[in-house]
């Protein structure tokens, strides 16, 4: 079986829940996962949303397991009728779902603690307590992800195609520290491998169609660097403008950006402030450099 730390540095996110798709709740995971990865010099390559439909979840997970990606899946691992993720994961892997012994012990420990807090005896055979053990029924072969909030664990599974999916609850207070634990425990050797930098400049009065040949030339002459164009028609400070820039590994961005500026100046367009964004979340935000004209 392939182990997590040997996988390539591609990270994905699956957000599960009808409440997200219906608008009852706003997704907070996408922004946070991007932040957690960036703080470690990594980046999110893709994200998908899926409702509480077992067949739909199974299809998305089957694709994730068949990939070579490292994927975080949030939501649907509880034990109510609208929670389908654990069963869908087993179906996607083609294995049976079984009560994980370590999960069972953790859930029982939590139930004992709750009983003690309430001043009542712990009754493991009481129907509601027996039902709670379903939260520890995972695909056979799953590994535990500890939950520092209430001990109810998440789990990780490897797919036959090389993909690994890490399943955590939908609650941010639980999910985010669990995702951090996964990253720091299994992927520390990749930290910094995908650090990105962006350098851009505000272009006043530019037209994307006119700028496109320059953008294409920069990408052709600087492999591994991407050129981006972000037009705006109602910016509160710059008004109508285009933010034109390059992004990629920090050691490659500098030369590409210099070539971009040279090309823009040759076109006699009016340039505004220059911006630098680091992929390191500890340095997130924009640094304004002197503008050009």
pLDDT, tens only, 53-80 = 999 999 999 999 999 999 999 999 999 9
* pLDDT digit string, tens, across residues 216-249: 999 999 998 999 999 998 888 888 899 999 998 8
What are the DSSP E strand ranges found in 111-225? 137-139, 143-145, 154-158, 164-168, 197-204
Cβ 60 vs Cβ 47: under 8 Å: no
The rounded distance, in Å, linking the Cα atoms of 213 and 222 is 14
Percent of the chain with pLDDT over 70: 91
Number of Cβ atoms within 10 Å of the Cβ of 90: 21
* pLDDT digit string, tens, across residues 107-144: 999 999 999 999 999 999 999 999 999 999 999 999 99
Q: What count of Cα atoms within 13 Å lies in the side-chain half-sphere of residue 217?
A: 12
Burial annotation 215-233 (CB, 10 A radius, 16+ → b, else e): beebbeebeebbbeeeeee
Domains and CATH numbers, the chain: 4-190 (3.40.980.10), 197-289 (3.30.70.2860)
Contacts of residue 265, Cβ cutoff 8 Å, sequence gap at least 6: 271, 292
Cβ 139 vs Cβ 157: under 8 Å: yes
Question: What pTM did the predictor assign?
Answer: 0.81
Give the pLDDT confidence score for residue 4 in this predicted structure.
44
């Amino acid at each position: 079986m392939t182990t997590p730390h040997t996988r390539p540095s591609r990270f994905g996110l699956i957000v599960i829940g009808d409440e997200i798709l219906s608008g009852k709740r706003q997704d907070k995971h996408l922004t946070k996962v991007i932040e957690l990865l960036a703080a470690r010099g990594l980046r999110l390559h893709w994200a998908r949303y899926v409702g509480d439909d077992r067949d739909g979840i199974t299809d998305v997970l089957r694709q994730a397991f068949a990939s070579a990606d490292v994927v975080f899946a949030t939501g649907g691992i509880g034990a109510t009728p609208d929670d389908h993720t654990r069963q869908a994961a087993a179906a996607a892997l083609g294995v049976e779902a079984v009560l994980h012994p370590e999960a069972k012990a953790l859930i029982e420990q939590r139930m004992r603690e709750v009983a003690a807090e309430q001043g009542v005896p712990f009754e493991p055979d009481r129907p509601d307590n027996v039902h709670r053990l379903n939260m520890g029924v995972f695909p056979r072969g799953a590994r535990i992800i500890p939950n520092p909030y209430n001990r109810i664990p998440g789990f990780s599974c490897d797919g036959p195609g090389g993909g690994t999916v890490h399943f955590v609850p939908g609650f941010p207070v639980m999910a985010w520290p669990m995702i951090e634990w996964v990253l720091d425990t299994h992927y520390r050797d990749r930290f910094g491998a995908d650090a990105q930098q962006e350098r851009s400049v505000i272009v006043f009065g530019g037209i994307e169609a006119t700028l496109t040949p320059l953008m294409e030339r920069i990408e052709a002459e600087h492999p591994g660097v991407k050129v981006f164009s972000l037009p705006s028609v109602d910016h509160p400070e710059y008004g109508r403008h285009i933010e034109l820039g390059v992004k990629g590994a920090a050691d490659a961005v500098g030369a590409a950006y210099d070539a971009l500026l040279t090309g823009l100046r040759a076109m006699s367009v009016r340039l505004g402030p220059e911006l630098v964004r680091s992929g390191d979340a500890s340095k997130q935000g924009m640094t304004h450099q002197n503008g050009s004209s």
